[in-house]
Amino acid sequence: MGDTMGKFSEVMTSIVAMTPELGALTQLYLATSPEIENKDIRGRYFIPIANEIQPAAESKDEELQEKLWTFSENLAREKVKA
Non-local (6+) Cβ contacts of 62 within 8 A are none
pLDDT confidence of residue 18 = 82
pLDDT averages per 10-residue partition of the chain, 82 residues? 76 77 91 92 88 90 96 94 73
pLDDT confidence of residue 69 = 96
pLDDT confidence of residue 5 = 79
The runs of H, that is alpha helices, within the chain are 2-16, 20-32, 34-38, 62-81
pTM of the predicted protein model: 0.54
Nearest residue to 39 (alpha-carbon basis) of 49, 48, 52: 52
Strand 51-53 to 45-47 pairing: antiparallel
Cis? peptide before 53, omega within 30° of 0: no
What is the spatial distance between Cα 51 and Cα 59, in angstroms, rounded to a whole number? 18
